[in-house]
Each structure stands twice: as C-alpha cells, then as structure tokens.
Amino acid sequence: MNASIIDPLQGDFPEVIEEFLEYGTMKCIAFNRRGTLLAAGCTDGSCIIWDFETRGVAKELRDKDCVSAITSVCWSKYGHLLLVSSTDKSLNLWDVVKGERITRIVLEQTALLARLHPGSSNPTVCLACPFSSAPMIVDLNTGTTTVLPVSLTETAVVSAPTSATARNKFSDGSAPYTPTAACFSKHGDLVYVGNSKGEILIIDYSNVEICAVVPISGGSVIKNILFSRNGKYLLTNSNDRMIRIYENLLPLKEGRKALDELKEDDLKAVGAKSLSLFRELQDSITRIHWKAPCFSGDGEWLIGGSANKGEHKIYIWDRAGHLVKILEGPKEALIDLAWHPVHPIVVSVSFNGLVYIWAKDYTENWSAFAPDFKELEENEEYVEREDEFDLIPDTEKVKEVDVDVDEDVDIITVEKDSTFSDSDFEDEIRYLPVSPIPDIPEQPDKCVDSSSKAVESHHSASPLSEEAFQNGRASNNPEWPVLKENSAVEYANGTLSKRKRKPSEKVLELQAEKVKKPSRLKPSTKMSKAKPRFLVDQETSNSDANKGGMDNDSKVHLIM
C-alpha cells in the first residue's frame, strides 16, 4: 500500500477480518520478536509455525511423547527456541530450525502458562504458572523447580526436580489457590506475581524474596498480568471485570538494584514507588469479563477479548483509556489474542480452533498526490483552457535541481530500527525455509478402476454367472459396477471401449438379402473426384422408412 495515499486521520488499529488460518484445532498463539513467524499450539499436542508473510506452514513440531492439548507457546528472544506447555503436565523445549526437541520436563500439575527468560538469547530458566499452585521457576537444564511466594505470609519452597511440596493453601489457612498469574520484567531480573488477594508482588526470584507489594483496589483475583513490549507499562486483568494499566517507575535495567536503594521497611511503600496506577478500563454497560488482554507492539493501543460464550468481540482502547473500536467476529467464543509486534494486525483464536487475522481497512486518499488534485463525486465534462497546450519556451521551464554527482552514497550502513533496541543482532531467526508441497496427482476414474477389478476377478475365479455380472446383480461387492444390458461401454483388452447395440431381426434379414442379391446400381469404371456417387441398398426398417418418407426397400448412402 502506498503510504502517500493513506488518510492520516485513520487510526492505526485493525478493523476487519482479512483472512483466517486453518490447521487442526489451534488453541494458543504467539508471535516471534519480529512478527515474521506465528506459533500455534494444537489440541493433538503438535505445534504449527506459520510464515506470517506468506500465510504458509513453515514447520510442524510433533513428538510421540506429547499428544495432549497445548496450553501455551513462547519464543526465545531471537527465535531459536520455542517453549511449549501441555495438559499432560510437561514442558517441552524445541529447537525451531532443526525441529528437534531439546528437553522435556514433567511437573506435578499442568502449566497454564510458561514463559522463557526474556533477557537471554539462550535461556536456561523459565517461569511456569500451574493450574492450582504457586508459580515456579524451572531450570531447563536440571529440571529443578523453585516455587515463588504468592503472599506476604507464604514461605517459598525450593523443591527437587519432581516435587512441589507447597500445596493448595496459604500458611494462614485462607482459601486454596486459584490459577496465579505471573510474568517476567522486560529484562528478566524480576518476576511480577498477581495473586488471588488482589496484590501485585515484585519478587527477586534468584533469592526468592518479595521486594515490594502493590495492593489493587477491590482486592479481586488477578487473572492476567503482563508488560508492554517496551517495559514501561504493566497490565492486569482482575475478576472485578476491570483492566488496569500501571506505569513502571523502576528502570528497565537493574530493577533489583533500584529496589534496594529505596530502603523502605514497608513493602507497600516500596510498591507505591515501583508502580503507579495509570488507567482503569471496563465496559460500564455490559460489565463483561475480559479474555487475553494485551498491548500493541508500540504500546499505544490496548485490546481485550470478550469472555462471553459464543461471542467473538475484541475491544480496542488507546493508551488514554478511550474506547475507539469494537471488532465483531463470528459466533464463536474467543480464547486467545495476540497483536503483531510491528504492524496494526491482531490475531485471534476461536473456540473451534481457527485463527482469524484482523487487519486495517485502508481508504485511499487520491488528493494527496498534488495540492491541485480534485476528487470528483461523479463524471463531469472537462473544459479545456485556451493556453493549456501552448508551447512553453525553454527559458520559462523550471530549473533543474543541482545534484552533486561526486558525493559518495553510503549503501552499506544499515540504520538501526527504532522498534527494536538491539536490531543489529545478526543471528536472529526471522524466516524458516518452506518446503513446497507437491500437487496431488489426479485420481483415475473410479468407474474404470472398479470395472477393471470386477472383470479381472470375474475372469479369474468368480462364483457369479456372466449374466448376473452384466445385469449388475453383484451385490456382494460394492466396488463392482452395475452393467445393464445394451450398455454403451464394455471392458475389452484392458481398456474401456464403446460397442454397438445388437441389431434387430429385421436388420439381420435385410443384411442377408443384400449378400444374396447384387446391387441394382452398377459402379462406373470412371468416377469424377468432384461428383459423389450414391448407392441404394435395402437396410431400412419399416419404422425408419416411415420417418424418412422413403420406400421400405431403399436407403441412400453417400459414398466418396
């Protein structure tokens, strides 16, 4: 699309469904850092990687040990690794280029969410959020797990590879755990945990220490928590049907060191200096619950899906908190959302396993070509000016712009992309080689195959009589064709060929008389090439003769 003819007043957010992707039954999705690859986890345990530019399947990751539904997928920073969690309580780390599984770790509970360390190109730890226990740090090399505290009264437990001894109750005897949300900070030095008491805990996971606490008004269960791409804003989705945006007051790097410098005894006071409430978003009319909210790639927009059954609605707000668009899709529940890291494109997953791609509906502004360009609502007759096609002297022409042809032009240096802080990394995987899928050869005619099978079996050893075969009464074999009497097609010499109908008795009699009786017309010895000759024979039946208006004994044939 030519950027010069795009209306600048249009919002930079998607508006319509551009197309959809279909491959098995997909349940969760994730873009790589550049947005060139899209990973989708399926219910059969496989993971599909789409080339998002061509909308083709670039790779399928499948392992015989994992046949359960996928709950989450996560890319490593530079796209070399893919972490997949599934309902069989396993975490699988894949090498994307080779398509091989690197490691497999089985937890005690199903992980609803698993995230790789965002600050490392080759991460060795990940964050897992089980279904009904506290979040944990998992060492991908050894399989050891470190359970994180989820409240001020909870004691963290460092467990063995297959243990998670902290069970489903707080130490103060309060209600059991609900699924606890957690996420890494931008560079992975801290973990932010949203618990069921409506608190955000900032945890130093290396020392298993709570550094700050941020209480949320209402004290509702926090279902989702995540950072924007630039790390400046934190989003939470609570059970009180409200999405909250917090501004991150800590530096993006060395956040742990900044917390130590605050030197406050009260953790809530430290939390107030770490996060500041920026916006609260809700649908004040319908008061719906939200599903899979997330930021846009540049952090200027925010989306949230409706959690109502049978409703595929996506709400879009700007960062100031104004609702700018409601996207309505098919009558299917929405289960996951993702915003493209670079372009104004949103990808949603429906309950039926389809992935819908929402893109912007561009309106071309043709008047942007020239200031005197006029757009017409309807056809108008053009009136030519008197001097429109007069010759202009060379002296009045616009002078050419002076260009220094000797100036060196730099075609080697690549400008740094402002969207990515470290875009000069050369070992990043952006695309995967796609093997072309050969065309499926056309299947031969089923009638031919079945006829050949039927005739071969009939000639070899068939208990059925020839009469039953021809009349189509071979009911014990459904592949045999039904051949009726006087059929125009028969099998002969390995191929299908046409056969003539059986002549009637009258025709046979006339042919016999023709053999006995010589023709009444004698052929001439000299025949002109331009003049055909005619023979009259007696082959016409009574019915044919009556139709043609001829005698019963004669029929004229043209002979060249």
Give the pLDDT confidence of 243-261 residue by residue, as tens digits. 999 999 999 888 888 998 8
Residues 494 and 513 in one domain: no
**With a cut of 70, which residues of the chain have pLDDT below it?**
1-11, 154-178, 363-371, 392-403, 414, 416-426, 434-440, 442-504, 506-507, 514-560
- Where is the domain boundary, 498, 515, 533? 498
For residue 534, tell me if it sits in a domain.
yes
SS3 246: strand
DSSP state letters, 300-327:
SEEEEEE-STT--EEEEEETTS-EEEEE
Q: How many CB atoms lie within 10 A of CB 381?
A: 4
Residues 473 and 518 in one domain: no
Range of the domain at 476: 446-498
For residue 214, tell me if it sits in a domain.
no
Between vectors from CA 475 to CA 465 and to CA 491, what angle results, nearest 5°?
60
* Tens-place pLDDT, residues 288-316: 999 999 999 989 999 999 999 889 999 99
Judge contact between 272 and 219, C-beta under 8 A.
no
For residue 541, tell me if it sits in a domain.
yes
The total number of structural domains that make up the chain? 2
For residue 482, tell me if it sits in a domain.
yes
Q: What per-residue confidence (pLDDT) applies to 121?
A: 86
Instruction: Look up tokens 């909210």; give the residue.
Output: 293
Q: Where are the beta strands (DSSP E) in 1-55?
A: 16-21, 26-31, 37-42, 47-51
Judge contact between 293 and 303, C-beta under 8 A.
yes
For residue 51, tell me if it sits in a domain.
no
For residue 459, tell me if it sits in a domain.
yes
Q: What per-residue confidence (pLDDT) applies to 420?
A: 66
The rounded percent of the chain whose pLDDT value lies above 90 is 48
Residues 511 and 471 in one domain: no
For residue 412, tell me if it sits in a domain.
no
For residue 489, tell me if it sits in a domain.
yes
Residues 519 and 545 in one domain: yes
